[in-house]
Amino acid sequence: MIGYLRSRVLQFVPVLFGISFIVFILIRLIPGDPAIALLGTRATPELIERVHEQLGLDLPLWRQYLHYLANIARGDFGTSFFYQTDVWTLAFERVPTTLALMSYAVGLSVLAGIPIALLAASRRGTIADEGIRLLLTVALGIPSFWLGIVFALAFGVVLRILPISGAGHGGFDTLRHLTLPAITIACALTPILVRTLRSSLIEVLNSDCVTTGRAMGLARRYLLTSYLLRNSLRPVVTVISINIGYLIGGTVVTEQIFSVPGVGSLLIGSIATRDYGIIQMATLLFALLVVIVNLVADLLYRVIDPRVQL
Amino acid sequence: MRVGLSALWDRRPLLIRAQERRGPRTKAWSMRIGVIAFIAFVLAAVAAPLLTPYDPVKLDLLSALQPPSFAHPFGTDHLGRDVLTRVIFGAQVDLQIGLIGVSIPLVIGTIIGLLAGYFGGITDAIIGRVIDVVIAFPFLVLVVAIVAMLGPGLVNLFIAITVVSWVLYARILRGETMAVRQREYVIAAEGLGYGHLRVMLRHILRNAIAPALIFAMSDFVLDLQLGATLSFFGLGVQPPRAEWGLMIAESRNFMLSSPWTVLFPGLAIILLSFIVSLIGEGIADRVRGLHDE
Amino acid sequence: MTNDEGLVVEDLRVSFGGGTVPVIRDLSLQIPAGEALGLVGESGSGKSLTARAILGLLPRGAQATGRIVLDGKSLLDLSPAARDRMRGSRIGMIFQDPMSSLNPVLRVGDAIAQVIRSHEDVDRKTAKSRTIELLQRVGLNDARRRFYAYPHQFSGGMRQRIMIAMALAANPRLLLADEPTTALDVVVQAGILRLIDGLRRSRKMSLLFVSHDLAVVSRMCDRIAVMYAGSIVEEGPTVQVLHRPRMPYTIGLLNSIPGPQSSNRLAAISGFPPQPGTLPRGCTFAPRCPMAIEACAQSAVAMVEVGSDHRARCLRTADTGKISTGETSAEPNTSVSAVSHA
């Protein structure tokens, strides 16, 4: 297991370098002097000079990159001039909230998606099935930001049953606060999940092992859990890990709309304040999340399917 | 759920057979409707000034926040502008976002993917790496970051989308090219001494392009959503231009009292996305049908 | 209201497409309790479908009419729920490919215990101990440990034994075996066949053994029924059918078995069996039959008694009788029992 992990992580090393390079390059996209942009309104000739030195902006690009990497190795990702703290701390302390929201959304998607997919698969070819697929296509076209503000209005303002901002104070309160955002994100993820799940359920339904199970007269509850669902776990993991980028996108938008203090709202918020250091950091964190999720998915396959050798 | 589950092993052959026969027919219809609706959208967007007497940009505060009526079928927004007019003019922008956001990456990505898959070796190794790295970034996050650096605006949005999206096409083309390369007719063509370019274009491309086109449809929807989202957050189209996401942002505070200001732009996004998705599904079905034969 | 009659199938008809495409026609057979009937035929003859029809596991779009009675209880007019209960507890079935048939994510012990608990109200401990007993009975050493293993950790032969254990877990009265040894190598085959045979006798179960392998069937079954294009064309005691076949198709089948043959047998059958939707009007075998006459193509042929409890669906049984009596030996000879008497 450890050996497998090690080899997988090694595979990701070039990708990690590539990610760091792209994040590094981002700053150089800014038209004009990045130092001025980074300093914003506090720009004075001396400070500019200092930032140039700090970031090594006079050096050739590849040396700047090495400089950047050295900084990262030291844990220095730059400072936020707006918040006056180092970027890493700022971003990292928001990670748990974002992860909580994403997990919540995935959980809701799976809980809703499995029964819908089962329904569609079992009534394959009928009006119900076609109807569901139609609804899924429509749902995929609903923008998350629009849905978010509609939900916020309906459930938060009009009906007043759920909070629409912040993340609460932990525990159940946080759950309440994250519910509307999670539902919003889930509405974007569930259609994708159901599509794939429906196909794989149809496959499983027609498979030899389910036929055998039925031939043995297995009770419904066993067929449903041990045969249908357990053999469908794999595609669920696959769908979520493939669409993790899409999921993150929805999370960022939703965090901003519902003022959830996660990395996503940090990213969007920093744009207005031109806090480029944070933008870089958030981007890097999200890319890392994608890589980690893919790794975790590989491990999950081992747990789900005993045939998978490591 | 009990009744539903027993349908899992349903034994009503006649009913099921009849309804399964609906499949191909309704699908052909839905694709036609999709294409027609899309063309209608494009025509409406192009002919926008002709379709409405109102100016999408000019303020008319006296007519602010009027509910839908004969004079204003979609009502007016907080600045008195006719919502229907703005939705139609907004279609100009959003269609551009979708079309340009798809076509340029499609071309670039196809060329690069084709080269990588065809020549293999170092070319493929490098391009493959680049693809892996860019794909590691969530689409929205990277586009947002790039636009944040370059500055808000429609052109910067196009640049950001293009820079990020081409890898998606390159990946598809690379995979398909490598698969098709192995097939006999390509080997035969190469054996006959056809030049690289000719082999690539005529033999490989024709077969490899199908999945890319299918993906292009969902990419259109993705770009449309992204453009609207970024404009909503102030990163894309700038006021006073009409764009659906921007309209929603501008009218956010008036949602409760004047829901039409937010409803119709949202519906426009949903509708256009649905239409293009239908077309994409239609293409996918036809391609699958061809393969089955 | 059950008795010991065993399985009685009368005029079974299975069709697809809402009744328009018949795949099995006018099929009748009987298996008294404790006896074994072999159902043989080429692929596509409908033998597997027959077994599935008896079990009630037909694919989507298939309809079955006729009579299927097990121990006095009619099976075709059971409700779906009753059908589910019947499977496993009154009829068991084993399939050809044990790797794809066993659930790969379930430990084999759990899989079998689930079957037991689906049919009887027992607690987990009891189910587990009965499962271990079953595993021992089917020949798995170290059953206690093997309980926790996964299917992919076993060899093909052992997986088949596990499947047999699963099928018998709820003590059915009738066992349907659909080519259970076809995917196994010859040595392993013998062990599995011995196991099935032993279990049948000790439990006094009826056995329907479906196979395309005449040799295997002859070893296991008291009677043989030969299927062609959806109907039984010959049926009788094993020895009689194999040594005095009266239907030209059976003769042709026997002739295609490698081994020392008598020269007055018919040559190997040329041509292919008809597709389900395109059955010829009269005898389905007539187009390929070297003994066909005009009358054969006119109308469907009925079964004719050709011996004690031996029937053939042919108009020319008088002449086929002459061919068969050319065989001098009445003893089973090695040409039909290719499997070693292990």
B125: nearest CA partner in chain A: A14
pLDDT at position A17 is 87
Angle of helix B121-136 relative to helix A2-28, nearest 10 degrees, comes to 80
* Model pLDDT for residues C183-217, shown as the tens digit of each residue: 888 889 999 999 999 999 999 899 999 998 888 89
Asked if A203 has any chain C CB less than 8 Å from its own CB, the reply is: no
What whole-number distance in Å separates Cα of residue B72 and Cα of residue B90? 16
What whole-number distance in Å separates Cα of residue C315 and Cα of residue C301? 7
What whole-number distance in Å separates Cα of residue A48 and Cα of residue A29? 18
| Measured distance between the N- and C-terminal CA atoms of chain C, rounded to whole angstroms | 40
CB within 8 Å: B16 and C16 = no
pLDDT of residue A93 exceeding 60, the answer is: yes
CB within 8 Å: C80 and B17 = no
Closest approach of C216 to chain B, Cα-based (Å): 33
Asked if C110 has any chain A CB less than 8 Å from its own CB, the reply is: yes
Asked if B46 has any chain A CB less than 8 Å from its own CB, the reply is: no
Pairing status of strand C206-211 against strand C21-31? unpaired
Pairing status of strand A79-80 against strand A85-86? antiparallel
What whole-number distance in Å separates Cα of residue A275 and Cα of residue B254? 30
Least confident of A234-243, B12-21, B60-69: B12-21
CB within 8 Å: A122 and B269 = no
Q: Which among B33, B34, B24 has a CA at the least distance from the CA of B280? A: B34
pLDDT of residue C316 exceeding 70, the answer is: yes
Asked if A36 has any chain B CB less than 8 Å from its own CB, the reply is: no
Closest Cβ–Cβ partner in A216, A227, A304 for C115: A216
Angle of helix B22-46 relative to helix B83-119, nearest 10 degrees, comes to 120
What whole-number distance in Å separates Cα of residue C203 and Cα of residue C169? 12
Enumerate the residues of chain B whose CB falls inside 8 A of the CB of residue A280: 145
Q: Which among A35, A44, A19 has a CA at the least distance from the CA of A274? A: A35
Q: Count of CB contacts below 8 A, B vs C?
A: 19
Least confident of B137-146, B284-293, C22-31, C288-297: B284-293
Q: Count of CB contacts below 8 A, A vs B?
A: 171
What whole-number distance in Å separates Cα of residue C231 and Cα of residue C12? 9
**Residue A218 is which amino acid?**
L
Pairing status of strand C73-74 against strand C91-94? unpaired
Q: Which among A135, C231, A62, A222 has a CA at the least distance from the CA of B5? A: A222
In this structure, are residues B47 and B34 in contact, taking their beta carbons and an 8 Å threshold? no
CB within 8 Å: C150 and A227 = no
Enumerate the residues of chain B whose CB falls inside 8 A of the CB of residue A141: 221, 225, 269-274, 277
Strand ranges inside C79-205, DSSP E: 91-94, 174-178
Q: How far is CA B180 from CA A57, B131, B186, B202, in A?
A: 47, 20, 8, 12
Chains in contact with chain C (at least 3 beta-carbon pairs closer than 8 A): A, B
Closest Cβ–Cβ partner in C58, C60, C81 for B16: C60
* Model pLDDT for residues B8-40, shown as the tens digit of each residue: 444 443 333 333 444 455 567 788 888 999 999
Chains in contact with chain A (at least 3 beta-carbon pairs closer than 8 A): B, C
With H, G, I as helix, E, B as strand and everything else as coil, classify residue C13: strand
In this structure, are residues B244 and B94 in contact, taking their beta carbons and an 8 Å threshold? yes
Q: Which among A101, A96, A147 has a CA at the least distance from the CA of A257? A: A147
pLDDT at position A309 is 67
Closest approach of A129 to chain C, Cα-based (Å): 16
pLDDT of residue C229 exceeding 60, the answer is: yes
Angle of helix A2-28 relative to helix A61-73, nearest 10 degrees, comes to 130
pLDDT at position C262 is 47
What whole-number distance in Å separates Cα of residue C257 and Cα of residue C263? 13
Across B219-247, average pLDDT: 93
Across A231-241, average pLDDT: 89
Name residues 127-166 of chain B within 8 A of A (Cβ): 129-130, 132-142, 144-146, 148-151
pLDDT at position C333 is 36
CB within 8 Å: B19 and A126 = yes
**Residue B125 is which amino acid?**
A
pLDDT at position A275 is 81
CB within 8 Å: A142 and B270 = yes
CB within 8 Å: C80 and B9 = yes
Q: How far is CA A107 from CA A99, A250, C264, in A?
A: 12, 15, 74
- A261: which 2 tokens? 């203090």
Mutation site for C-interface testing, chosen from A208, A212, A230 by largest number of C Cβ within 10 Å: A212
What whole-number distance in Å separates Cα of residue C108 and Cα of residue B164? 49
Asked if B69 has any chain A CB less than 8 Å from its own CB, the reply is: no
What whole-number distance in Å separates Cα of residue C224 and Cα of residue C211? 11
Closest Cβ–Cβ partner in B23, B141, B269 for A146: B269
- B185: which 2 tokens? 């007719």
Enumerate the residues of chain A whose CB falls inside 8 A of the CB of residue B125: none
**pLDDT band (50, 70, 90) for residue A122:** confident
Enumerate the residues of chain A whose CB falls inside 8 A of the CB of residue C57: 211, 214-215
In this structure, how many other beta carbons lie within 10 angstroms of the beta carbon of residue C287?
15
**pLDDT band (50, 70, 90) for residue B287:** confident
Instruction: For chain A, give the mean pLDDT.
Output: 86
SS3 per residue for chain B: CHHHHHHHHCCCHHHHHHHHCHHHHHHHHHHHHHHHHHHHHHHHHHCHHHHCCCCCCCCCHHHCCCCCCCCCCCCECCCCCEHHHHHHHHHHHHHHHHHHHHHHHHHHHHHHHHHHHHHCHHHHHHHHHHHHHHHHCCHHHHHHHHHHHHCCCHHHHHHHHHHHHHHHHHHHHHHHHHHHHCCHHHHHHHHCCCCHHHHHHHHHHHHHHHHHHHHHHHHHHHHHHHHHHHHHCCCCCCCCCCCHHHHHHHCHHHCCCCCHHHHHHHHHHHHHHHHHHHHHHHHHHHHHHHHHC
CB within 8 Å: B273 and A246 = no
Strand ranges inside chain C, DSSP E: 7-16, 21-31, 36-40, 63-70, 73-74, 91-94, 174-178, 206-211, 223-228, 231-237, 304-307, 310-312
**pLDDT band (50, 70, 90) for residue A308:** confident
- Greater confidence (A32 vs A210) lies with A210
pLDDT at position C71 is 85
Closest Cβ–Cβ partner in C85, C101, C150 for A217: C85
| Alpha-carbon dihedral sign for residues A36, A38, A41, A47 | negative
- B69: which 2 tokens? 């009526």
In this structure, are residues C243 and C326 in contact, taking their beta carbons and an 8 Å threshold? no
CB within 8 Å: A143 and B245 = yes
Name residues 182-201 of chain A within 8 A of B (Cβ): none
Q: Which residues of C touch B (CB under 8 A)?
A: 16-18, 58, 60-63, 80-81
Name residues 244-273 of chain B within 8 A of A (Cβ): 245, 248, 252, 255-256, 262, 266, 269-273
Enumerate the residues of chain A whose CB falls inside 8 A of the CB of residue C163: 212
Least confident of A6-15, A44-53, B64-73: A44-53
Q: Strand order in C310-312's β-sheet? A: C91-94, C174-178, C206-211, C36-40, C223-228, C231-237, C310-312, C304-307
| Measured distance between the N- and C-terminal CA atoms of chain B, rounded to whole angstroms | 38
Angle of helix A172-205 relative to helix A233-242, nearest 10 degrees, comes to 120
Q: Count of CB contacts below 8 A, A vs C?
A: 86
Closest approach of C93 to chain A, Cα-based (Å): 6
What whole-number distance in Å separates Cα of residue C300 and Cα of residue C312? 13
In this structure, are residues C166 and C112 in contact, taking their beta carbons and an 8 Å threshold? yes
- A21: which 2 tokens? 């390079």
CB within 8 Å: C101 and A209 = yes
pLDDT at position B193 is 67
What whole-number distance in Å separates Cα of residue A236 and Cα of residue A197? 7
pLDDT at position B131 is 92
Nearest-5° Cα angle at C13, C8 to C15: 145
Residues near A170 by Cβ (< 8 Å), separated by ≥ 6? none
Mutation site for A-interface testing, chosen from C58, C83, C103, C178 by largest number of A Cβ within 10 Å: C103
Closest approach of A227 to chain C, Cα-based (Å): 7
Closest approach of A132 to chain B, Cα-based (Å): 14
- Greater confidence (A168 vs C59) lies with C59
Question: DSSP assignment, residue C308?
Answer: T
Chains in contact with chain B (at least 3 beta-carbon pairs closer than 8 A): A, C
With H, G, I as helix, E, B as strand and everything else as coil, classify residue A188: helix
What whole-number distance in Å separates Cα of residue C112 and Cα of residue C129? 11
